[in-house]
Amino acid sequence: MKITNFEQLECWQEARKLNQHIYKLSGGNHFKRDFTLMDQIRRASISIMANIAEGFDRGSNKELIRFLYIAMASASEVKSHLYVALDQGYINKEVFDETYRQATKIGKLINAFISYLRSCEKSGRINAQPANRQTD
């Protein structure tokens, strides 16, 4: 399958879903009063999507992998912020669990993509070009 843009990447699609969910839950009455936390969790969720996209268009697997690691770290940051939101009573345990699972899923997808890219580099199967990235 030939991937020609970052929007086709499952990890980016799932990050977009997480970002929509984060915006919805952080807009709640109690949560939005804590501007610092609201801003931080939103920025972290945006960072996941942005780093996947930016890395994709960097033109090399090495750069893509570097940005994927940053995206994975941002997913972990979202998970950490979720604990604060839970502890402060801004979200309930059910919302926490659902959102935490989504962030974990994204981290796993990114990690699998990194592993795939590394295996392809070793075998010489990928010639990474920004608008012509091949995944098999």
pLDDT band at 123 (very low <50, low <70, confident <90, very high): confident
Q: Please state the CATH superfamily assignment of the domain spanning residues 6-123 in this structure.
A: 23S rRNA-intervening sequence (1.20.1440.60)
> Per-domain residue ranges for the chain?
6-123
Count CA atoms within 13 Å of residue 60 on its CB side: 3
Q: DSSP readout, 10-65?
A: HHHHHHHHHHHHHHHHHTSHHHHH-HHHHHHHHHHHHHHHHHHHHHHTTSSHHHHH
pTM over 0.75: yes
What integer is the mean pLDDT of 100-126?
89
Q: Residue 88 — φ and ψ, nearest 5°?
A: -90, -5
Of 125, 135, 131, 112, which is closest to residue 56 (Cα–Cα)? 131
The pLDDT of residue 126: 52
Q: What is the pLDDT of residues 75-112, one digit of tens each?
A: 999 999 999 999 999 999 999 999 999 999 999 999 99
In angstroms, rounded to a whole number, what is the distance separating the alpha carbons of residues 65 and 99?
Answer: 25
CA distances from 130 to 6, 29, 64, 124 (A): 9, 42, 10, 17
| Helix, strand, coil content of the chain in percent (nearest 5) | 75, 0, 20
Alpha-carbon dihedral sign for residues 75, 76, 81, 83? positive
pLDDT band at 124 (very low <50, low <70, confident <90, very high): low
